[in-house]
């Protein structure tokens, strides 16, 4: 492997391996068996092939099964229209197995057609459906976390996806939130519906759309969903910043595995910690700045490869990761600003080499929450969306156009 993974084990702090071994049984997603029950959450603009590669390599660095790594959300309409960037999202590297794609949509026929493309063209081994996105450009169209409120629409979309994937033996899973707000919760009903329609697993981000990314995730909701959904795995998502958080989540909720989102931003080695933890080891990665710099540079190389050799595009896309990578390390403001504006691989190398690379791991300052947080927000919904659980003809007509203006979230 490349520079990052070759040094990964040098940063691991060894400890005793408990005789008990694995914490949970293997996660079974239809025909797929994932020994380490950890899933990388799809995050728009983050979990492209370059970042997935770093996470997968880290997860496998201790000799463990690395888990499941889901690509960025792809809009069903754009995929059906064979948009170049959408097809790029569902184009996986030869080393990626199993391959996991996530589809967003608000029209059952279009979602079914998109899943048929993914399954029929052998683009992925697993398809996840997005019913959890809280961002306004998605919810104002009735999508993401807003959609399960319309129970028949939710049912029709899940059924269309499962039916499209079934002939190809591709499992379909659902990722959702608790609901729109505390007065409009949908997750228990949606979980039971999805289970009855033949999904292979359900995942819950234990916040509402109104919560956005604020406050603490309500892990008790994951436990309630686990009680309600009995025949397929239930995965928990929300506030997993460390391997210890993941172990605590499954212990407190009974979840069959975890989904990790913001906790790995700027920290792909979290998957090494998670793999070790779920396999009964207390080894953890504690990187000094040199290791972080090597990871950033390799990330840049992988980004350029992802964008077919377009160096400027690849390095520019890397910029958003810099603050996450450097959290807690003593890097001056000028260096941080320069890295956040880097435009070439050579410049990146020079800037990284100019840092104090002998800095050790800074401890708690490098840990904890990262990425988006903010405060609760009033969800943006189609006018009159909450007046009925049913979908009237006016909403149905609007939904046919909704996907055209949604490209991520």
Which are the catalytic amino acids?
Answer: 133
H helices, E strands: number in the chain:
17, 12
CB atoms within 10 A of CB 170: 26
- CA gap 1, 250 in Å, rounded: 32
HEC string of 288-351 equals CHHHHHHHHHHHHHHHHHHCCCCHHHHHHHHHHHHHHHCCCCCCCHHHHHHHCCCCCHHHHHHH
DSSP state, residue 185: B
Tokens of 200: 């292979």
DSSP letters along 93-154, please? Answer: -TT--S-EEEEE-S-HHHHHHHHHHHHHTT--SEEEEEE----HHHHTTT-GGGGGGSHHHH
The whole-angstrom separation of Cα 363 and Cα 373 is 22
Q: Which residue has the tokens 């197995």?
A: 97
């Amino acid at each position: 492997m490349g520079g990052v993974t070759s040094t990964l084990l040098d940063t691991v702090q060894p400890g005793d391996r408990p005789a008990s071994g694995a914490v949970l049984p293997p996660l079974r997603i239809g025909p797929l068996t994932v020994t380490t029950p950890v899933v990388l959450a799809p995050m728009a603009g983050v979990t492209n092939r370059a970042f997935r590669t770093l996470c997968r390599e880290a997860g496998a660095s201790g000799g463990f099964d690395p888990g499941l790594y889901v690509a960025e959300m792809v809009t069903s309409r754009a995929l059906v229209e064979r948009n170049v960037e959408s097809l790029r999202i569902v184009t996986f590297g030869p080393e990626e197995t199993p391959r996991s794609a996530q589809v967003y949509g608000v029209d059952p026929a279009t979602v079914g057609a998109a899943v048929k493309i993914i399954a029929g063209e052998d683009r992925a081994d697993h398809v996840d459906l997005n019913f959890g996105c809280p961002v306004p450009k998605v919810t104002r169209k009735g999508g993401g976390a807003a959609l399960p409120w319309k129970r028949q629409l939710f049912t029709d979309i899940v059924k269309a996806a499962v039916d499209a994937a079934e002939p190809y033996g591709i499992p379909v899973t659902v990722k959702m939130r608790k609901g729109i707000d505390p007065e409009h919760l949908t997750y228990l009903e949606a979980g039971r519906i999805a289970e009855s329609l033949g999904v292979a697993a359900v995942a819950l981000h234990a916040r509402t759309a109104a919560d956005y990314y604020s406050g603490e995730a309500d892990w008790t909701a994951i436990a309630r969903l686990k009680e309600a959904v009995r025949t397929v795995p239930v995965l928990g998502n929300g506030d997993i910043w460390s391997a210890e958080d993941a172990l605590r989540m499954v212990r407190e909720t009974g979840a069959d595995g975890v989904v990790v989102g913001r906790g790995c931003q700027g920290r792909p080695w979290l998957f090494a910690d998670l793999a070790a933890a779920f396999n009964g080891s207390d080894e953890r990665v504690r990187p000094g700045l040199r290791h972080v710099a090597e990871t950033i540079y390799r990330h840049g190389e992988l980004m350029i490869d992802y964008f077919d050799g377009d160096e400027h595009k690849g390095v520019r896309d890397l910029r958003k990761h810099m603050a996450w990578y450097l959290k807690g390390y003593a890097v001056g403001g000028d260096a941080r600003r320069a890295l956040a504006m880097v435009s070439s691989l050579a410049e990146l190398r020079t800037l990284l080499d100019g840092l104090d690379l002998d800095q050790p791991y800074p401890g708690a300052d490098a840990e904890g929450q990262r990425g988006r947080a903010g405060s609760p927000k009033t969800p943006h919904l189609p006018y009159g969306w909450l007046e009925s659980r049913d979908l009237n003809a006016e909403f149905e007509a609007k939904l046919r156009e909704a996907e055209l203006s949604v490209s991520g979230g």
